[in-house]
Amino acid sequence: MPAVAAPASAPETRPGLVVALDGPGSSGKSSVGAAAALELGYRFCDTGLLYRAATWLSLHRGVGDTGVEALVALVDDVELAADAEGRLARVLVDGRDVTKEVRGPDVDAAVSAVSRVPELRAALLDRQRRIAAPGRIIMAGRDIGTVVLPDADLKLFLSASVAERARRRAEERRVNPDRAEGRDILAELRRRDELDSSRAVAPLRPADDARVLVTDGNRFEETVELVVDAIRSAEAARSAGTPSAGTTPTARALAGDVRPRPEPIEGHLTPLIRLVAAAARLITRAVTRVTIEGDLRAIPRRGPVILAANHASNADPVVIGAWLTPQLGRRIHWLGKKELFDWPIIGWMGRSGGVHPVDRSTADLEAFRLAQRILEEGHLLMVFPEGTRSSDGALQPAKDGLAMLALRTRAPIVPLAVVDSDLRWPRGQLLPRPGGRITLRIGEPFLLADDGAPARRGRAAKGAATVRLMGRIAALLPPRQRGTYAAHAGEDAARPGSGTRPRGGRRDLEAVR
């Protein structure tokens, strides 16, 4: 029996790339890979089908206990078949189409154990390489970039939080993700992630030279577009004679992103920043008293972190910067409007102190990319999610940008509340009012991309995530300042499984300290 059934349509003759597309279960590699292949005129092969078909056959024929040899022998009876577009997305056993059966829950439960068997993997290795040999193919799996095709022209790794993947799978199966069946899917995915990544042979992990695409909150079409763009850029780089995906940063940049990478962002604390913070504390103390409440030690000292605070006064950045900088011993990065840098002394201080200029006319996209880069390079970013100061001291509707950023980068968020700063230095007043007290409250770090993520997609998911994070800030504020989020104060932290700490509990948090 032939290993691969002939595609129904004539294969594309233009030269193309060999693309490895790996990722965990339900990360979208099969559907995204198939759609991208269709758009590019590439062949597509979902290698998970081979492992699934072997598992289904072993269950079906009851060879589970008869040894490895019987299991390996099943491989010869499995055939991948092309659909109308030539994509190897169907599986035949003895000529019968069993694509639907191999995606059933019984196979889901058994496939990770079966795919741990080294002899089975070895038997399928050659099969996969033969399929890829003619080129112009996207091959999806777990170990394509690391083991099956280590010399692939381009390696992509699709990643998404387990909650997002469970929701997608529940949607596929028309199951309510919040009901028992939905929770079972989540537990099952977790179990398979653990098995797939901990196995001794070809464990699930991105290749060192893979480009990782995080897809939380993305619409399906957005992820397809990311993949298509990455492949087109790599094709262009290759025809321009520049290296395709490789191990050097330049080659990687050329393969996925034609723009060369900018200079790394500076992360250490300079004497100048310490001096400015000390001066700001001195001046602030001359005007008002400042109290810090909460667990400062819980703020990670290393790795990406987002500090998110309410914004009611010009005093907010002063108090946060002046008090937290020396305590954390790391630079706080801020995004500030470009015009700020035209001011003689303030401009110089801002630039040297971790404020990044953002052009308001080209606005959001530029700011978003910059913020993402700050976090991806492992720094601490301070954000006021409301965008601008509130006129009455109470929380106003926040933008969804921060939720999107947190979902995409998986950075932990530390909610902060600056209490009563509006009474000391109200919006519209040139100078602060002496006296009184400002309190800076520090909340508990949490991950938005955690298991409590709402079972919704796209804009709705980002909107719901924004409400969750603003609810955490509101919970730290007195009722008078909770404004728009009064009804959501503390709602998220109180929910079971909402992830009051970064996923994996304390240990994960410590890993980024």
Span from 80-88, 141-149, 277-285, 308-316 in contact with ligand DC (CB under 6 A): 141-149
**Continuous segment of H or E residues that includes residue 165:** helix 162-172
> Which residues within the stretch 192-251 sit at the binding site for ligand DC (CB under 6 A)?
192, 196
CA distances from 293 to 52, 285, 290, 310, 313 (A): 54, 17, 10, 15, 19
CB of 130 to ligand DC, least distance (A): 15
E runs forming strands in 234-319: 289-294, 305-309
Look at the chain and count its residues: 513
Q: Which of 111, 117, 355, 469 binds ligand DC (CB under 6 A)?
A: 111
Span from 4-12, 138-146, 335-343, 444-452 in contact with ligand DC (CB under 6 A): 138-146
Give the residue carrying structure tokens 């602030």. Answer: 284
Span from 111-119, 265-273, 355-363, 454-462 in contact with ligand DC (CB under 6 A): 111-119
CB of 115 to ligand DC, least distance (A): 4
CB of 29 to ligand DC, least distance (A): 7
CB of 339 to ligand DC, least distance (A): 50
Tell me: does residue 142 bind ligand DC (CB under 6 A): yes
Tell me: does residue 485 bind ligand DC (CB under 6 A): no
| Contacts with 240 (C-beta within 8 Å, 6 or more apart), sequence order | none
* Among 472, 478, 462, CA closest to 495: 472
- How many Å apart are CA 459 and CA 218, to the nearest integer? 9
* Among 309, 322, 312, 293, CA closest to 442: 293
Span from 45-53, 160-168, 170-178, 308-316 in contact with ligand DC (CB under 6 A): 45-53
- How many Å apart are CA 396 and CA 312, to the nearest integer? 10
Give the residue carrying structure tokens 């994509």. Answer: 87
Q: Which is nearer to ligand DC, 205 or 302 (CB)?
A: 205
Tell me: does residue 159 bind ligand DC (CB under 6 A): no
Span from 87-95, 137-145, 210-218, 406-414 in contact with ligand DC (CB under 6 A): 137-145
Tell me: does residue 47 bind ligand DC (CB under 6 A): yes
| Contacts with 425 (C-beta within 8 Å, 6 or more apart), sequence order | 313, 314, 315, 431, 432, 433
Q: Which is nearer to ligand DC, 47 or 159 (CB)?
A: 47
Report helix, strand or coil for 232: helix
Tell me: does residue 52 bind ligand DC (CB under 6 A): yes
Q: Which is nearer to ligand DC, 26 or 233 (CB)?
A: 26
Tell me: does residue 25 bind ligand DC (CB under 6 A): yes
Can you say whether residue 202 is alpha, beta or left, with left for phi > 0 and alpha for psi between -120 and 50 degrees? left
Span from 46-54, 328-336, 351-359, 404-412 in contact with ligand DC (CB under 6 A): 46-54
- How many Å apart are CA 494 and CA 445, to the nearest integer? 14
Tell me: does residue 499 bind ligand DC (CB under 6 A): no
- How many Å apart are CA 33 and CA 36, to the nearest integer? 5
Q: Which is nearer to ligand DC, 181 or 257 (CB)?
A: 181
Q: Which amino acid is at 193?
A: D
CB of 164 to ligand DC, least distance (A): 15
Total residues in contact with ligand DC, by rule CB under 6 A: 14
Span from 90-98, 142-150, 217-225, 376-384 in contact with ligand DC (CB under 6 A): 142-150
Tell me: does residue 185 bind ligand DC (CB under 6 A): no
| Contacts with 121 (C-beta within 8 Å, 6 or more apart), sequence order | 115, 201, 202
| Contacts with 76 (C-beta within 8 Å, 6 or more apart), sequence order | 1
Q: Which is nearer to ligand DC, 111 or 255 (CB)?
A: 111
Structure tokens at 372: 């993402």
Tell me: does residue 143 bind ligand DC (CB under 6 A): yes
Tell me: does residue 115 bind ligand DC (CB under 6 A): yes
CB of 30 to ligand DC, least distance (A): 6
Span from 109-117, 164-172, 285-293, 400-408 in contact with ligand DC (CB under 6 A): 109-117
| Contacts with 230 (C-beta within 8 Å, 6 or more apart), sequence order | 154, 156, 211, 213, 255, 256
> Which residues within the stretch 315-344 sit at the binding site for ligand DC (CB under 6 A)?
none
Q: Which of 17, 31, 36, 51 binds ligand DC (CB under 6 A)?
A: 51
* Among 405, 459, 15, 40, CA closest to 227: 40
Tell me: does residue 145 bind ligand DC (CB under 6 A): no
Structure tokens at 99: 């694509």
- Cβ-contact 305, 299 below 8 angstroms: yes
Q: Which of 31, 112, 284, 439 binds ligand DC (CB under 6 A)?
A: 112
* Among 86, 83, 89, CA closest to 29: 89
CB of 485 to ligand DC, least distance (A): 39
Query: Which residues lie near ligand DC (CB under 6 A)?
Result: 25, 47-48, 51-52, 111-112, 115, 141-144, 192, 196
